[in-house]
């Protein structure tokens, strides 16, 4: 299976911030798409689940779910099944985000199912040890995000740079095909440049963009670090 994104990549998790309610999710996504196409930098949008189909129909850039369940087609009320994501043009999903943690055996099952469906898997990890364990499952991407820095405005690349390099080394020692991203507290282009220099292949960001005063300006600033 060929990867459906190119490195470096910016993954924008919209979470459930009020700023993106209703049509604002499409507004920020279209701004991201315009910048992505202008600078030839891949940007992946992760909207709340009720907006997945809406955005996938309107965008030409990749749309990921924020969460997926390992559940069967049919009698699995309330679950988000991989096959459904695939059927509406979603190209991947966050898995095991700090705000939606799941056991390792479920991560393994979802990653395997995603490979069968040609979907991209972005698995989140909180520690270097988790990065090494998850790398053995062969996901496409792993995002290292120390939970204490998420939404803090204190960048992981400045506060804890070793966790990025250690995560890259841990993944490479097991599976050099996995791309390591970093997240938690990323706020500006300087944070991104440091992360890339430490070996990260991109960033996973949420509040740093969604809660900024100017979405267009902030996304352009972050993308400038990739150029």
Q: Which of 31, 97, 108, 130 is catalytic?
A: 97
Contacts of 191 (CB under 8 A, 6+ apart): 155, 157, 158, 185, 203
What pLDDT shows up at residue 185? Answer: 86
Tally: H helices and E strands in the chain: 10, 8
What pLDDT shows up at residue 2? Answer: 62
What pLDDT shows up at residue 150? Answer: 81
Show pLDDT as tens, one digit a residue, over the chain (227 residues). Answer: 567 799 999 999 999 999 999 899 999 999 999 999 999 999 999 999 999 999 999 999 999 999 999 999 999 999 999 999 999 999 999 999 999 999 999 999 999 999 999 999 999 999 999 999 999 999 999 999 998 888 788 889 999 999 999 999 999 999 999 999 999 889 999 999 999 999 999 999 999 999 999 999 999 999 999 99
All domains of the chain, ordered by start, with CATH? 9-207 (3.20.20.70)
Reference 101, options 67, 77, 73; nearest CA is: 67
What pLDDT shows up at residue 141? Answer: 98
Q: Which of 31, 130, 145, 221 is catalytic?
A: 145
Reference 202, options 183, 221, 176; nearest CA is: 183
What pLDDT shows up at residue 108? Answer: 98
Helices 128-135 and 161-174: crossing angle in degrees, nearest 10, is 20
Active site residue 67: no
Helices 128-135 and 104-117: crossing angle in degrees, nearest 10, is 40
Residue 179: in which H helix or E strand, if any? strand 179-183
Q: What predicted TM-score, i.e. pTM, was given to this entire model?
A: 0.96
Active site residue 97: yes
Alpha carbon distance 158, 186 (integer Å): 9
């Amino acid at each position: 299976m060929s990867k459906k994104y190119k490195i470096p990549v910016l993954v924008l998790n919209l979470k459930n911030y009020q700023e993106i309610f209703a049509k604002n999710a499409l507004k920020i996504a279209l701004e991201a798409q315009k910048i992505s196409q202008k600078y030839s930098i891949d940007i992946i949008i992760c909207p709340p689940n009720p907006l997945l189909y809406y955005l996938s129909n309107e965008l030409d850039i990749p749309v990921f779910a924020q969460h997926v369940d390992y559940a069967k087609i049919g009698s699995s009320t309330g679950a988000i099944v991989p096959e459904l994501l695939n059927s509406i043009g979603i190209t991947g999903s966050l898995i095991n985000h700090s705000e939606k943690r799941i056991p390792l055996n479920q991560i393994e099952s979802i990653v395997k199912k995603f490979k069968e469906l040609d979907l991209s898997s972005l698995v989140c990890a909180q520690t270097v040890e988790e990065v090494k364990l998850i790398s053995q499952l062969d996901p496409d991407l792993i995002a290292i995000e120390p939970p204490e820095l998420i939404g803090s405005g204190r960048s992981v690349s400045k506060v804890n740079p070793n966790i990025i390099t250690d995560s890259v080394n841990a993944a490479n020692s097991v599976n050099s095909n996995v791309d390591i991203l970093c997240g938690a507290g990323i706020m500006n282009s300087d944070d991104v440049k440091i992360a890339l220099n430490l070996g990260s292949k991109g960033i996973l960001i949420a509040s740093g963009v969604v809660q900024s005063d100017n979405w267009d300006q902030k996304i352009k600033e972050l993308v400038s670090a990739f150029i």
